[in-house]
Amino acid sequence: MKEWKIYTKTGDKGETSLLGGRRVPKHHLKIEAYGSADELNAFVGLLRDQEIDTHYKKVLLEIQDRLFTAESLLARDQGAENFELPLLYEQDIVFLEKEIDRMNEDLPPLGNFILPGGHPAVSYAHVCRCVCRRAERIIIRLAEDHPVDELIVRYFNRLSDYFFVLARKIAKDLDIPDYPWKPRKRKD
């Protein structure tokens, strides 16, 4: 197996290669899309490093694998048709939905927006939610001009929901109350 060299010097002028070989500027929307997914993956790793239930850690590891799958699919370009890439499947979305439903069974109904915080693990879950939503917006924008599998968009949409519910569930597990947002009354 060929060793990967960390530095190639091919990006020193602000360009990089997509999967398929085409060179594009590092600010290209495809790079933004898979770069945001990669940023999310790093934050998921940080969340997984927290003292949380081992079941959540296993689910987060599964999510990290799916994020790498999404990154590779987002990086695919013309010329990569013969690359054998992993795929996302409908069952990946169903898996997230089942996890959301399982956690929601143990949570009180939500009547207000809640403020992130209360514990580092809760806050990291909210950071994951926010980064996931940004990645989703970029992927949707990318899909306007480039082919993007709709399962990727759906996966990121459901994943941000998962992180929101996970934040609440971790807070409940740690006996930390939700902090509801109470908008100030207008001073007329």
- Structure tokens, 41: 């993956």
- Residue 133 clears pLDDT 70, i.e. is over it: yes
Alpha carbon dihedral 62, 39, 110, 100, in 10-degree steps, equals -10
- Residue 115 clears pLDDT 90, i.e. is over it: yes
121-141 residues labelled b (16+ CB within 10 A) or e (exposed): bbbbbbbbbebbbbbbebbee
Do 103 and 130 form a contact (C-beta atoms < 8 A)? no
Q: Please state the rounded mean pLDDT for residues 46-52.
A: 98
Q: Report how far residue 124's alpha carbon sits from residue 49's, in angstroms, rounded to the nearest whole number.
A: 10
Domains and CATH numbers, the chain: 16-173 (1.20.1200.10)
Q: What stretches of the chain show up as alpha helix (H) in DSSP?
A: 29-48, 54-75, 90-104, 120-143, 150-173
The predicted model scores a pTM of 0.89
What is the reported pLDDT for 53?
97
Q: What residues are paired with 23 via a beta bridge?
A: 17
Q: How many C-beta atoms surround the C-beta of residue 168 within 10 A? A: 22
Q: Report how far residue 98's alpha carbon sits from residue 102's, in angstroms, rounded to the nearest whole number.
A: 6
What is the reported pLDDT for 3?
77
> DSSP state, 14?
S
- Residue 23 clears pLDDT 70, i.e. is over it: no
Which tens digit of pLDDT belongs to each residue from 50-107?
999 999 999 999 999 999 999 989 988 676 677 777 889 999 999 999 999 999 999 9
